[in-house]
Structure 1
Amino acid sequence: MSSATDRLSTVTGRLDQSLQPLADGFNRLVGDYVGELNGLQFALVFGSLAAVLTAPFWGTFGLVRAMTVAAIWAIFAMSWDIQSGYTGYISFGHSVLSGAAAYTTAMLVHNVDPELSMAITIPVSILAALVVGLLIALPSLRLSGPYFSLITFVAVLIFYRLIPSFSAYTGGETGIQSVEVFTYDPIARYYYMIVPMLVIAVVLTVIARSNIGLILVSIRENEAAVNAAGIDATKFKIFSFALSSIPMGIGGVLLVHFTGGVDPTTFIVVDRSIEMIAMAVLGGMSSILGPLGGAFFLIVLRDYILTDLAGLSSPARWTIFWGLVLAVLVFVREGLFRKLWHTLERYGGGQP
């Protein structure tokens, strides 16, 4: 066993050394903003990026479609993480934010003008997500303990119950199915989702690595100490929720233009929020790229491997989905991708 470990260390060490010049160049350019990489971590990040950017040219139709959906859920998972993963204030209501954006788009098209330009509907919908986020954050983030989580959970229930009450505008339980899709071309549709996801990943990573991210983590670790240092923790908690609301709104807009419609079951129910949490937990909370990896892993597993390749029924797929999340919670609490990252750090000897 020790001999095998030594051989692995030798191989990975040589690979790390061969890639280190490239990693050093990357570190000099942007290391201060997104974190420094060793050779092995550089290979993981840019190998994954190359695979994602070229997927339509080597993947099957089913795989590309699953990765298209995964890109949207990766936005949701990263958005949840910058708020809940970093501050420790767990939200069960983030589906309300994406749902607010999606419903705003659909209602503008359905009730105002079917020909309304996306140049109008998209920014208005993202603004709606931000407004809803602030309506939740302003009263709830002044509380501590489990009360914040309970308020976000209740927010989902309220939003869900309001939809049938205004069915003339929202379409009720069946929703609105008259939203224009971006495109039916699977390759173009893929890049419509992937490019915003990558931009959001970079922006949130930079913010998470900044002093703001440090304060958010400090709130999670010891909020009283943050306040004692003269920093208004509540202000930063509200900021993190508002920050989270913007990419959630973007993801909601992407999803409604991907599906061509909106309904409460697909967009609002608390299950959607819990799925975002599951992706962040599996990938590794408070890391941004961990939830991104978790989203791709779970969606591709559920929608492609277990569905197209294995042909399993929906109950079986969901059982495996949640069983895997449970196993990670028990055996790899830091998350699969954070575990992988730290392993590459150890074998390569670089800095995370």
Structure 2
Amino acid sequence: MSTATDRLSTVTEPLDNALHPIAKLYNRTLGGYFGEMNGLQFLLIVGSLVAMLTVPFWGTFGLVRAMTLASIWAIFAMSWDIQSGYTGYISFGHSVLSGAAAYTTAMLIHNVNPEMSMAVTIPVSILASLIVGLLIALPSLRLSGPYFSLITFVAVLIFYRLIPSFSQYTGGETGIQAVDVFTYDPLARYYYMLIPMLVVAVGLTFIARSNIGLILMSIRENEDAVNAAGINATKFKVFSFALSSIPMGIGGVMLVHFYGGVDPTTFIVVDRSIEMIAMAVLGGMSSILGPLGGAFFLIVLRDFILTDIAGLSSPARWTIFWGLVLAVLVFARDGLFRKLWHGLDRIGGDRS
């Protein structure tokens, strides 16, 4: 293994050396806030960013649509990660948070005022997601182990069952299809979804690299030690859930305007939460950018490569989807993108 690594280093060393001055400048200015990188890691980040920003100009319509949807799911995966990946408290109820925002938007437009401005619906919807998040977090995060996960799972079931009970407002099982999409222009729609995703990624990465992120990871490793150090672990767990609720609300608003409507099957069921977990697991939990990469990889694989290129049926696509997640759990539990990142760290040069 070391011989193969040495050979690879021989090939990549000139490229890493060429990029070292730029990476060094980044490390001196922003590395303390977002993490230091060597030349190869810097190339991966910048190359990925350039690819995302330019895909409408070289990609097909199917690829652009898949990347548009992936931007929304990347927000969900990163939001789940800042709570569950960092604290170790695994939530199965995050679809409730995005669903709360989506339903708030739809109900405001459908039941209150069809002409209501997004300047009103968007902040109100995000606030609704935050409130629902606190309602789940405050009682459940005082528990530990599987009890927290069970409560978040039950929250999804309760929310799902409440929707038909208030069908005059929620549209019941069929949902509400009265929400305008942001735009029908695929180019504009792509950037409407991509830019907020990048802002969320930068914000969550900054927080994750701060002392707050360190405390959250410490809770995951040894919560008793955190409390013994005089830090209220429960307060930080509630904070992480509330923090997670805000971008979940943003993603929920984006998704309802992407589809032009909302229904319980698309937004609420626990399957949606498990898909978020799958993306975070595939990319690499407790890394923020890992779940981002996992979301893009899985959505593009499912909705473009397996659909448009391979032409596979829905059952076949989902079988491959979950088979890949299972393989990662067995053979690369740290996630594909974390593995790639650490590999670039080993073969790259000095960061200083």
- TM-score, normalisation: structure 2: 0.99
Instruction: After TM superposition, give the deviation of residue 216 of structure 1 in Å.
Output: 0.1
Indicate conservation of the 8 Å contact 1:16/1:38, yes or no: yes
Q: Determine the C-alpha separation between the residues in 2 that align with 1:296 and 1:15.
A: 26
Which residue is equivalent to 1:113?
A: 113
| Residue type at the aligned position of 2:136 | I
Q: Determine the C-alpha separation between the residues in 1 that align with 2:277 and 2:189.
A: 26
Which residue is equivalent to 1:32?
A: 32
Q: Determine the C-alpha separation between the residues in 2 that align with 1:194 and 1:37.
A: 24
Written as runs of structure 1 = structure 2, the 5 A alignment for 1:227-242 is: 227-242=227-242
The structure-2 alpha-carbon separation of the partners of 1:148 and 1:351, relative to structure 1 and needing over 3 Å to count, comes to farther
Which residue is equivalent to 1:168?
A: 168
Indicate conservation of the 8 Å contact 1:345/1:351, yes or no: no
The two structures, once aligned, show a CA RMSD in angstroms of 1.1
Instruction: After TM superposition, give the deviation of residue 350 of structure 1 in Å.
Output: 4.2
Q: Determine the C-alpha separation between the residues in 2 that align with 1:144 and 1:2.
A: 41
- TM-score, normalisation: structure 1: 0.99
Which residue is equivalent to 2:308?
A: 308
Which residue is equivalent to 1:12?
A: 12
Instruction: After TM superposition, give the deviation of residue 6 of structure 1 in Å.
Output: 3.4
Which residue is equivalent to 1:128?
A: 128
Counting matched residue pairs gives: 352
Instruction: After TM superposition, give the deviation of residue 312 of structure 1 in Å.
Output: 0.2
Q: Determine the C-alpha separation between the residues in 1 that align with 2:56 and 2:20.
A: 30
Q: Determine the C-alpha separation between the residues in 2 that align with 1:329 and 1:28.
A: 36
Which residue is equivalent to 1:59?
A: 59
Tell me the secondary structure at the aligned position of residue 207 of structure 2. Answer: helix
Q: Determine the C-alpha separation between the residues in 1 that align with 2:350 and 2:77.
A: 27
Q: Determine the C-alpha separation between the residues in 2 that align with 1:209 and 1:67.
A: 27
- The one-character-per-residue Cα deviations of 1:252-292 (angstroms, maximum 9, x if unpaired) are 00000010000000000000000000000000000000000
Instruction: After TM superposition, give the deviation of residue 171 of structure 1 in Å.
Output: 0.1
Q: Determine the C-alpha separation between the residues in 1 that align with 2:40 and 2:327.
A: 27
The structure-2 alpha-carbon separation of the partners of 1:196 and 1:2, relative to structure 1 and needing over 3 Å to count, comes to closer
Indicate conservation of the 8 Å contact 1:90/1:149, yes or no: yes
Q: Does 1:76 align with 2:73?
A: no
Unaligned regions of 5+ residues in structure 1, if any? none
Instruction: After TM superposition, give the deviation of residue 223 of structure 1 in Å.
Output: 0.1
| Residue type at the aligned position of 1:343 | G
| Residue type at the aligned position of 1:49 | L
- The one-character-per-residue Cα deviations of 1:205-227 (angstroms, maximum 9, x if unpaired) are 00000000000000000000000
Indicate conservation of the 8 Å contact 2:17/2:349, yes or no: no
- The one-character-per-residue Cα deviations of 1:128-171 (angstroms, maximum 9, x if unpaired) are 00000000000000011110000000000000000000000000
Written as runs of structure 1 = structure 2, the 5 A alignment for 1:81-230 is: 81-230=81-230
| Residue type at the aligned position of 1:338 | R
Q: Determine the C-alpha separation between the residues in 2 that align with 1:271 and 1:2.
A: 41
Tell me the secondary structure at the aligned position of residue 318 of structure 1. Answer: helix
- Percent identity (aligned): 85
The structure-2 alpha-carbon separation of the partners of 1:5 and 1:208, relative to structure 1 and needing over 3 Å to count, comes to closer
Q: Does 1:41 align with 2:41?
A: yes
| Residue type at the aligned position of 2:346 | R
Q: Determine the C-alpha separation between the residues in 1 that align with 2:327 and 2:158.
A: 32
Tell me which moved more, 7-16 or 98-107.
Answer: 7-16
| Residue type at the aligned position of 2:188 | A
The structure-2 alpha-carbon separation of the partners of 1:108 and 1:2, relative to structure 1 and needing over 3 Å to count, comes to closer
- The one-character-per-residue Cα deviations of 1:92-149 (angstroms, maximum 9, x if unpaired) are 0000000000000000000000000000000000000000000000000001111000
The structure-2 alpha-carbon separation of the partners of 1:193 and 1:350, relative to structure 1 and needing over 3 Å to count, comes to farther
The structure-2 alpha-carbon separation of the partners of 1:266 and 1:351, relative to structure 1 and needing over 3 Å to count, comes to farther
